[in-house]
Structure 1
Amino acid sequence: MEERPVTLADLKKLNAPVRAHCNICQKAAYISTEGMPEDTVVIYIARRLRCSRCGSTNVVSRPCYQHMVPKHPREQQS
């Protein structure tokens, strides 16, 4: 199986957002991808980002699959 970078089209199929993280001050936020081409590689989005807290460009962007992780039975509401 050939590995390839994750694109916005891949995330759209899974309804998964993009999350950015500042490596300097540790701020994290979801990124709006509205208007970006679907063939945009998720990890390359960070190249255009600057942290709104500290101003650093030392930022990474990653897919956020957290919403797909099942909750522990005690956390589920009846």
Structure 2
Amino acid sequence: MNPIHPKKLHLSKWTAVRPQAKEKHFLVTRVIHAEALPGSVQSTPAVEAVELEAVMSKRSQRIDWRELQDSAQWRQGWL
């Protein structure tokens, strides 16, 4: 399991374990936060998802940020 802190996700680099369409290296270009509930005491809304951009093709995809913790699918950094 990849240890990840949600606050350090933006602009982090990832390598797909099983590349598809020659897309292996990805960059987190956007962190998507859950909507804060009115009257909530949380100062920062929780992270809900991230937008990954393939380095070669510039194609973007949105995934749940917890999927990055699965070391069978993702490796942190560009390997």
Using structure 2 for the length normalisation, give the TM-score.
0.27
Higher strand share: 2
Higher helix share: 1
Computing the radius of gyration from Cα coordinates, the structure with the larger value is 1
